[in-house]
Structures are given as structure tokens and as C-alpha cells.
Amino acid sequence: MEIQRVPLRLVTPLPDAVTEPVSVEQLFRAHARYVAAIAHRLLGRGDDVDDVVQEVFLSAVEGLGRLRDRDAVKGWLATVTVRTARRKLRLRRFWAFLGADEGHDYEAVASNGASPEDRALLARVYAVLDRIGVEQRLAWVLRHVEGEKLERVAELTGCSLATAKRRIAAAEQAIEGVLGHE
Amino acid sequence: MSDLARRMEELRSKVDVGWDDERARRVERGMVSRRARRRRLRVAGGAVVVVAIVLFALFAPRRANAPQAKIPALPQATTQATAQADERAVRTSDGSRVELLGERTELRPVEDAPARVEWELLRGRARFDVTPRTSRLFRVRAGKVAVEVLGTAFVVARDETSTEVTVERGRVRVIAPTGEKQLSAGESARFEEPVPVPTASNEPVPLPSASVSHAAGSRPSAVATPHSSAWRELAERGDYDGAWGLLRDHRGGATNPAELLLEADVARLSRHPAEAVAPLRELLTRFPGDSRAPLAAFTLGRVLLDDLGRPREAAEAFARARAFAPEGALAEDALAREVEAWSRAGDTSTARARAEEYERLHPEGRRLRSVRRFGGLE
């Protein structure tokens, strides 16, 4: 299994900061919901989300070392989540290519309380997302579902700003082409 | 900003993971198990003999038995399941073993993930030897009966009128339309398929447009519920069980398509799919021109096919969904599901005709493979 090794930006500890090694369980309990939310929006499938969450924290703690900057940790977890989700999505497309993934009912993408129309629309959007390229999907979801700024989308997906914009536009065109104008 | 982007901005808050304490605990347990497995593998990597023993323990039983397929190779596994052989066996990724007993057993893998393994027994008999694992749900569906286990061995036999579950080891929970039942080693139970309630023709009554409106005196004669707004508020908060509790005995008061759709959603999402049929049919009858009619017809088809096992009616509902909006966003899926429904209803000639239509309309459709399978075009 590939281990994620992400270079950390060390921050000078505060004078009264107590630094100590962080266990994977501590990291999980503090940030699991945050990571799961990102994974859910990227992947759309519950079991894939659980799998990615586990992988993210196992990868994170192996490269984390000592916790210094709490805000930096969340941003870094988001980066690891996108990378892990990318692998999962590529695998999904591989199985789809072989005919072993025949799609998914995305009705559970919408949260409880969503209207039937919203639920159906989101299900159709995510069904279409399965048909477009992984990089386009990641960029579009981070921009329009996660609500990230373009610069942050580029950072999370490891590409230039221009490339991120191009991918988002391509994804939008593909989605609108299938859905029409709802 | 495009229309789609604007719409997604509005819906952003509606895309949220259902993350509660129970799920967090389950995922955390799985993570701890996974980490422990990796540590064990690292240690074993330095000890060749240990690795060899582990590999032998994992793979030796497979070699000793009839040819098996490792999941996920779903199409091949399904093909093997329907081959005319006395006995076939497959092993899932968690080490559980599934044996097909007798000829013409048809078994379909539905899901194979770390947290969940699910099979569907379409007909015949199969034996399941499930590896104990508390962080993973192992489930077998046979018609309207579902068997959930944590670690056991049991046989499920399904014919046209009933499903029988026999437990050899451990304990299983069986979920049937009549309720839930737990069976221990040595026990068995038979569950009869419910007889479909004959329904009147679901062809829409052509209503003059004036009758569709909410003119005075056109309300249905159902009892006005004192909880009419309360159930809606609960539903909009996502408390479908609570909403059903209020709605159950005071139904029939919905006056517009949005309420009828919401009522159907409450029934479905509180695990009462049979109760979703009436409001969906009412929407199609009273408001056939509404923009939500295709969605209502499609949802009706899904409920009838996936939850209630009424494939012929489901096929007709999917056909209506397409008829309402032949170029709409649901049209492709509706046609694909219609093929599946006709196939499950035993009408192979209609299934084939619809499958050929799908191929013509959607030569690169995302459901092409399943359409070809259900339509007999493979």
C-alpha cells in the first residue's frame, strides 16, 4: 500500500504550547467528520467514503509526526483526502471500464431533509460525474459543491490555476450537456 | 456564473455526509483493524516462514475446491453462478465462502466493500460460510427476505413462492415483510412471498386541465389531518421516522405534487415502501402534466421493482416516466430499468425489444452492460 508522505511546514511552537505525539485515534476523533464530509462530496458513495476516511488517517499519522499548527492540519488532511479520493475514483473508473461497476443509485448523496426534487437532481449530477474524467470531477466538485476558491482548488488538486479553471469548465460543459437546463 | 453553478451553490448545504457517533465508531474500528493488519504484514515481511504460513492458510482451501472466482470480478462471478454445474464456490474479499448448490442457482453479487458484503439470490440454493467480522455487514437478499450475519454458516433457498433460511452455525437475523426473526444453529424458517394485491389499471385518467387545478371543491375527500404541517416540518428536518409516525394514520390530505412527492419520500425513507405507492400514483393521476410527473413515475418504478418485487407494474411505471419526458434527464435510466423490470417479470421478448431500443438510443450509455444482460443481448 502506497504511503502518503507529505512535507509539513513546521511552525515555531508557542512558548506555552505542549507538544506531544498525536495518535491516529486522537487525530481521527478530532477530524473524522471533516474528512468524511469532503470524501462524501467527492465520491458520493457511503462505503467508499468510509474506506477513504480510514486510509486518510492511517496515511496522515504516518507522516504527521508532532502536531504543531492546528489549522495547517485540517488543510493538510483535505489534501490527503483529495489524493486518496483520486485513487479511489481511478479504481472505480477502471472497474467501470471492465464492466464491473454498473453505476450507483446516488439518492443518499443528499442529506436528510432535502426535498425530493433536490434529492433527484443531486442523484443525477453524481451519476453524470461518474462519466467524466477524474481530474475534471475533482476540480468541479471542490469548486461548486465544496465551495473552494479557484486557487485552493488548484492547490488541492496539484495543478496550476489555469488548469483548474479549464477542468472545471470542461466538467460543467459535460454535466450540462447531459442534464440540460434544470 | 452559470445556471448549473448557481443551482449547485443553492444545493451545497444539501450534500452532507450522514456522520453520527455509531458510524464514527464503526469506521474507527475498521481503521484500527486495518492498521493492525498492516503491522502484521510488515512483521511477516521479515519472516518468510510466517508469510508462507499466512498465504497457505489463506489460499489452500481455495485450491482444494471447485474453481472459484475472487470478487470483484463481478460479471465472471455472475456467469459462474448460473452455469450448469453441480457445485460452484466463490470467496469474497473478506474470506467468506459462497457455494452454489444444485443446478440453475442464480446468485448475483451486489456489493463487496470493507464495511459491507451483499449478495442477491435470484433463485435456487446457496450456502454462505461467513467470516466473523464485527466491522463488516454480510447480507443476503432473496426476494423480499434479507439475511444479515456477523459470522455464521447458513443456506438460503428461494423458489417462486417462498424463501427458506437454514442456519448451520452461529446466528442470523432475517428481515421479511412480516417482520424480523433471529435463527440459531439448527433452526430454519420459511417465508412465503406475499401475493400481489390486484390493482386497478394505472393508466392515467385523462383529466381536463381545469380539474387538475386546485379549484374550490376539488380537494380530495380525505380526512384533514391536524398534524398536516407537523409531519412536513419533521420530513424537512430529515426525521422521516417521526414524520411517518404523524402521517401514518392521517394520510390523503396532500393537495399538490410537492406534498405527494414528500409523502412518498417519508414512506420510503422510513422503510415503508408499500405506502409510497399510493401518493405517487395519485400524483400521476391528478397531475399528469406537472413537471414532477416523470420523477414520480420513475420513483414509483423503483419502489415497485426494488422494494416490492412487482416487476411488471414497475416496467409500466418506467415506461410512463419515459413517456412523460422522452428527452428528459431520467429517460435513459428509465429505459434501462424498464429492460430489467421486464426481464424480472419473465417477459423476455419485451425486455429484448426495449434493450435493442436502448442500444439504438444510447450506444455508449452507462447502463449498456446491464441492459444487454437483462435484455438477453449478450
Q: How far apart are CA B150 and CA B131, in angstroms?
A: 8
CA distances from B268 to B283, B285, B330 (A): 16, 20, 19
| pLDDT of A140 | 96
Confidence of residue A26 (pLDDT cuts 50, 70, 90): confident
| Contact at CB, B5 and A147, closer than 8 angstroms | no
Q: What is the mean pLDDT of chain B?
A: 76
Q: B327 or A64, which is more confident? A: B327
Residue B282: band (very low, low, confident or very high) from pLDDT cuts 50, 70, 90? very high
State which residue of chain B sits closest to A56, comparing Cα positions: B31
Q: DSSP state, A19?
A: -
The pLDDT of residue B218 is 36
pLDDT at B51: 61
Compare all CA atoms of chain A with the CA of B298 and give the residue at the minimum distance.
A120
From the candidates A54, A143, A182, which should be mutated to test the interface with B, based on the most B CB atoms within 10 A? A54
Q: Do A145 and B12 touch (CB under 8 A)?
A: yes
Which residues of B fall within a CB distance of 8 Å from A31?
A: none
Winning range, highest mean pLDDT, from A20-29, B104-113, B217-226, B269-278: B269-278
pLDDT at B311: 93
pLDDT band at B116 (very low <50, low <70, confident <90, very high): confident
Instruction: Specify the higher pLDDT residue, B220 or A91.
Output: A91
Can you give the pLDDT at residue A37?
94
Which residues of chain A neighbour B327 with C-beta distances below 8 Å?
180
8 Å CB contact of A53 and B31:
yes
- H helix or E strand, kind and range, residue A176: helix A161-179
Q: Is the pLDDT of residue B151 over 90?
A: no
Residue with cell 446466528: B171
CA-to-CA distance for A156 and A154, rounded, in angstroms? 6
Q: Is the pLDDT of residue B144 over 70?
A: yes
- Asked if B305 and B337 touch (Cβ cutoff 8 Å), the reply is yes
Using H for helix, E for strand and C for coil, what is the string for chain B? CCHHHHHHHHHHHHECCCCCHHHHHHHHHHHHHHHHHHHHHHHHHCCHHHHHHHHHHHHHHHHHCCCCCECCCHHHHHHHHHCCCCEEEEECCCCCEEEEEEEEEEEEEEEEECCEEEEEEEEEEEEEECCCCCCCEEEEEECCEEEEECCCEEEEEECCCEEEEEEEECEEEEEECCEEEEEECCCEEEEECCCCCCCCCCCCCCCCHHHHCCCCCCCCCCCCCCCHHHHHHHHHCCCHHHHHHHHCCCCCCCCCHHHHHHHHHHHHHCCCHHHHHHHHHHHHHHCCCCCCHHHHHHHHHHHHHHHCCCHHHHHHHHHHHHHHCCCCCCHHHHHHHHHHHHHHCCCHHHHHHHHHHHHHHCCCCCCHHHHHHHCCCC
| A53 confidence band (pLDDT: 50, 70, 90) | very high
CA distance B116 to B139: 8
Reference B345, options B375, B322, B320; nearest CA is: B375
- Closest Cα of chain A to B44: distance in Å? 15
> Looking at chain B, which residue has its C-alpha nearest residue A46?
B17
Show which of residues 147-166 on chain A sit within 8 Å of chain B, judged by CB atoms: 147
> Are A111 and B370 a contacting pair at CB < 8 A?
no
Q: Does A144 touch chain B (CB under 8 A)?
A: yes
> In the predicted model, is pLDDT for residue B280 greater than 50?
yes
Q: Determine the Cα angle at A121 with ends A116 and A123, to 5°.
A: 95
What pLDDT is stored for residue B357 in this prediction? 95
A58 and B34 within 8 Å at the Cβ level: the answer is yes
A109-113, B73-77, B265-269, B285-289: which has the minimum mean pLDDT?
A: B73-77
Tell me: pLDDT of A122 over 50.
yes
Complex-level ipTM: 0.81
Question: Shortest CB distance from A54 goes to which of B13, B27, B240?
Answer: B27
Task: Give residue-wise pLDDT tens across range B46-78.
Answer: 665 556 666 666 666 554 444 443 333 333 333
Band of pLDDT at residue A99, cut at 50, 70 and 90: low
What's the confidence (pLDDT) of residue B9? 86
Size of interface A-B (CB pairs under 8 A): 159
> Chain B within 8 Å of A118 (Cβ-Cβ)?
yes
How do residues B30-41 score in pLDDT, each as one tens digit? 988 888 888 887
Q: Is A137 an interface residue toward B (CB < 8 Å)?
A: no
More confident residue, A77 or B207: A77
Average pLDDT rounded to a whole number, residues B143-157: 80
Q: How many helices (H) and strands (E) does chain A have?
A: 7, 0
All three cell numbers of B136: 463488516
Q: Which residue would you say has higher pLDDT here, A58 or B58?
A: A58
Distances (CA, A) of B216 to B209, B210, B213, B229, B284: 15, 11, 9, 21, 21
- As a whole number, mean pLDDT of residues B128-150 equals 77
Q: Which three cell numbers, joined as nine digits, stand for B17?
A: 455526509
Check residue A166 and give its pLDDT: 95
- With a pLDDT cut of 70, the percent of chain B lying above it is 73
Distance, CA of B43 to CA of B132 (rounded, Å):
24
The per-residue pLDDT for B41 is: 76
The pLDDT assigned to B367 comes to 82
Chain A: give the shortest CA distance to residue B93, in Å. Answer: 14
Residue B359's pLDDT is what? 93
In chain A, the largest separation of any two C-alpha atoms, in whole Å, equals 58
Between B254 and B292, the higher pLDDT residue: B292
- Residue A73 three-state SS: helix
Q: Looking at the predicted structure, is the pLDDT value of residue B108 above 60? A: yes
Cell numbers placing B132: 466473523
Q: Among the ranges B70-84, B85-99, B306-320, which has the highest mean pLDDT value?
A: B306-320
- pLDDT (average), residues B198-223: 37
Given this model, what pLDDT does residue A159 score? Answer: 94
Q: B1-17: buried (b, 16+ CB within 10 Å) or exposed (e) per residue? A: eeebeebbeebeebbbb
- Contacts B329 to A, Cβ<8 Å: 124, 178-180, 182
Closest by Cβ to B15, choosing from A95, A103, A145: A145
Give the pLDDT confidence score for residue B245 in this predicted structure: 87
Chain B residues closer than 8 Å to A41 by CB: 15, 17
